[in-house]
Amino acid sequence: MSLIHKSAADLGALVARGEASAVEVAQAHLDRIAAVEPKVNAFLHVDAETTLAQARRVDERRAAGEELGPLAGVPIAHKDVFTTADMPTTAGSKILEGWRPPYDATVTRRLREAGLVILGKTNLDEFAMGSSTENSAYGPTRNPWDLSRIPGGSSGGSSAAVAAYQAPLSTGTDTGGSIRQPAAVTGIVGMKPTYGGSSRYGLIAFASSLDTPGPFARDVMDAALLHEAFSGHDAMDSTSIDAPVPSVVEAARQGDVAGLRIGVVKEFGGEGYQAGVLARFHETVELLENLGAKVVEVSCPSFTTALPAYYLIAPSECSSNLARFDAMRYGLRVGDDGTRSAEEVMALTRAAGFGPEVKRRIILGTYALSSGYYDAYYGQAQKVRTLIARDFQAAFQQVDVLVSPTTPTTAFPIGERADDPMAMYLADLCTIPSNLAGNAAISVPCGLADEDGLPVGLQIMAPVLGDDRCYRVGAAVERALTDRWGGGLLAKAPAL
């Protein structure tokens, strides 16, 4: 098996034992990026020299006898919404084109401290607003399973990089499903930790009460190792939870559901769901029951109102957060010829720098927060958010985890929903409730849809700080289905 096809855990072990150097591992992945990147467009920035310099430092640390962590020397693709002092950070927007931050995000710093080797920055929907990575100012990313289809969004570059074997691991952010939905449609694992369990410091903000950094990987154990590497309390983030990281690696190692109570969310299914998605979901629920879990149906009636509530709350926070991009301090500046006022320069810059989806959400959010409409829109949406959190609390008194399809359909063709925002937003139908409530949720592959042969994801939702339950159930599903498939799901993907 070549280096690019090994798991992150195996690569870390090879480097630790001196059986492969971090430089060799990094070079193998740089070669893969060079070979397939023109087809996939997963990356916005790759700097081989910087990558290899990071890898050499890991090899020097090992040669000096330093004890290395389990992921030291493992390459990783980093979503271009985390600040990186040695690489540009654009958030997929022209308004930040070429911007080099003066500091690293906490997630970036912790990746470096763990000895991970950052290959480059990945493509995304502009400012993480989208479900297809078609909203990037730098062109769409393509799904490695079918290059005519979307890789999900907003973290589509990160999901595609892992699915295309350009990197064994990647980072993403999940505001309304932007880790889980891309993971589902590219056949990999994606985890949204409990809100506040991973630091937002240095993460370019979209919606501050929702944004959550999390891991992508090709298997559950690798995701757990990355989760532990960059999570935990951060004094630089006022919303960071001052509590130990749940023992997600141990839970992934356990992978046993015997005796667990698993709730099937009644509201997620039926009309609008692809038949092949529902078929794989119901088969996986039956599998969990055969593994010793007790499966019951659970009703969460407020979940049906999550989508409209989210598309008031998130744009409202976006309209506030993106006000900082004013052409006065950093980033793009248009029309500053000495004859225009600051307000004119600001308007010209935002008109040129922001894409259509970002403008749409800023307008929606500004309207929802405006005098006379605040209580009717934003205030009502926050009340719905409370009801959704209460539905979760009631459900978790009955069961240990909830399950649903991750997204109603498999990957749709590029351009199919580009002119229909409502159809695009429906991709996040199942994922949004967990963002509004702040609890943990993961997507793991559960097979291929009959209609198109594309991946289907199983979503597993757990209570706040119940992240380990997601990994425990996810690992059990992965183990059972790997035995059934005779190998990992990605082995069935068409070769690029």
Give the CATH number of the domain where residue 296 resides: 3.90.1300.10
Give bridge partners of residue 263 from the DSSP assignment: 296, 402
Catalytic residue among 79, 94, 121, 192: 79
Distance from chain centroid for Cα 68: 26
Give bridge partners of residue 121 from the DSSP assignment: 45, 78
Residues 251 and 130 in one domain: yes
For position 483, what pLDDT does the model report? 77
Q: Residues with Cβ < 8 Å from 123, sequence gap 6 or more?
A: 41, 42, 43, 44, 80, 92, 133, 136, 138, 139, 141, 156, 157, 160
pLDDT at 495 over 90: no
| Contact call for residues 426 and 307 (beta carbons, < 8 A) | yes
Q: Residues with Cβ < 8 Å from 290, sequence gap 6 or more?
A: none
pLDDT at 101 over 80: yes
Quickly state the pLDDT bin for 482 (edges 50, 70, 90). Answer: confident
492 is catalytic: no
Separation CA 209–CA 318 (nearest Å): 10
| Contact call for residues 44 and 90 (beta carbons, < 8 A) | yes
Give bridge partners of residue 126 from the DSSP assignment: none
79 is catalytic: yes
Mean pLDDT of all residues in the chain?
A: 96
Between strands 401-405 and 455-462, the pairing is antiparallel
| Contact call for residues 135 and 123 (beta carbons, < 8 A) | no
Residues 110 and 53 in one domain: yes
Number of domains forming the structure of the chain:
2
Residues 155 and 249 in one domain: yes
Please identify, among 385, 406, 421, the residue that sits at the C-terminal boundary of a domain: 385
- Residue type at position 313: I
- Residue whose pair of structure tokens reads 């690029």 in the numeric block: 496
For position 487, what pLDDT does the model report? 66
Is residue 242 exposed (0-12), middle (13-18) or buried (19+ Cβ within 10 Å)?
exposed
Catalytic residue among 21, 131, 154, 155: 154
The sheet carrying 189-192 orders its strands as 43-46, 117-122, 75-79, 169-173, 213-217, 189-192, 440-448, 455-462, 401-405, 261-265, 294-298
For position 486, what pLDDT does the model report? 65
pLDDT at 422 over 80: yes
pLDDT at 329 over 90: no
Please identify, among 385, 406, 440, the residue that sits at the C-terminal boundary of a domain: 385
pLDDT at 140 over 90: yes
Residues 350 and 485 in one domain: no
For residues 305-324, average pLDDT? 97
Residues 287 and 319 in one domain: no
Domain interval for residue 409: 3-302+386-492
Residues 369 and 397 in one domain: no
Residues 136 and 239 in one domain: yes
Closest Cα partner for 445 from 185, 162, 244? 185
Residues 346 and 411 in one domain: no
Please identify, among 362, 385, 408, the residue that sits at the C-terminal boundary of a domain: 385
Residues 278 and 364 in one domain: no
| Contact call for residues 472 and 254 (beta carbons, < 8 A) | yes
Residues 368 and 405 in one domain: no
Give bridge partners of residue 143 from the DSSP assignment: 146
pLDDT tens-digit map of 233-276? 999 999 999 999 999 999 999 999 999 999 999 999 989 999 99
Catalytic residue among 21, 93, 132, 178: 178
For 198, phi then psi, to 5°, come to: -130, 140
Residues 23 and 59 in one domain: yes
Residues 297 and 320 in one domain: no
For position 231, what pLDDT does the model report? 98
| Contact call for residues 75 and 116 (beta carbons, < 8 A) | yes
